[in-house]
Chain A
Amino acid sequence: MFIARRRDRPSEAQVSPRAEWYDRNPSDQSVGYLAVAVAPHTTTTRATYTVPTGRKAFITALHAEVYRRDAPTTAGKVYAQVFWSGVVMLKASHLNATVGSVERSSVGVDNALMAGDTVFIETCDLSTGGTMDYQVGVAIVEFDA
């Protein structure tokens, strides 16, 4: 028979009546951008998520990939990035004219977002001619604050 040692048993003060975050009306709010053969363009926001009032959220994973589909006349910097309230959290940068060249960036995180915090995805291609494919994803779980 298992007998818990005294220090393993939480006192009344340690037991919170509040449910864990994953039991407080959680919902998937993931955002992403998936596109093929995109022509050069200036900085463009592809997706945005804002935490509603009375809610919080966790970012659980980030992924960005940029892939050279068609050769440019002149290769310029290409990137896909994820911003969190003005700070770049993840970026995949690419400077290569070779068709099939690719840059990827992925990370698993547990950043907590408060009401009003914003996450957004941006892409940019400063090349002349050619096209790129983009795949960017931000996994977000939202719950009652």
Chain B
Amino acid sequence: MVKIRVKVLPPDADNDGYHVHLPTYIVIAGTEEYADAKKTKPQSVVVEVPDDEVGKDGKPDKAKIRAKYKGQPRWDREDILGDI
């Protein structure tokens, strides 16, 4: 597993809560950074992601993710990591 800081997204049509736009991840508790002083809007967080989804630069790798989840509409697409 590789630890990286990623953007936290607000609820949307596919997620009823704040979430990270990656297929597989585990949030590291206590690493949240917030957009407001009251700490109600998480902005970024450190997550662990599988080794085989990360590139040499230590960031999520689009080609690897598309290959691992090939044929799955949500992840096998050109714009999957647009909002990471």
Contacts and interface: CB of A to CB of B under 8 A. Distances in A.
Interface of A: 29, 31-36, 38-39, 41-50, 52-53, 115-116, 118, 120, 122, 124
Contacts of B26: 31-33, 46-47
A29 B16 CA distance: 24
Interface of B: 11, 15-20, 22-27, 29-30, 39-40, 42, 68-72, 74-76
Q: Interface SS of chain B: helix, strand, loop or mixed?
A: loop
Contacts, number: 68
A50 B17 contact: no
A129 B42 CA distance: 17
A133 to B, nearest CB: 10
B19 A45 contact: yes
Given A41-B40, A53-B71, A53-B72, A48 B17 contact: no
Contacts of B19: 44-45, 48, 120
A110 to B, nearest CB: 21
B18 A44 contact: yes
Nearest to B16: A43
A118 B26 CA distance: 13
A49 B16 CA distance: 16
22 contacts: A31-B26, A32-B26, A34-B29, A35-B29, A41-B42, A42-B17, A43-B17, A43-B18, A44-B17, A44-B19, A44-B42, A45-B15, A47-B25, A47-B27, A48-B22, A50-B75, A53-B69, A53-B71, A53-B76, A115-B72, A116-B72, A122-B17
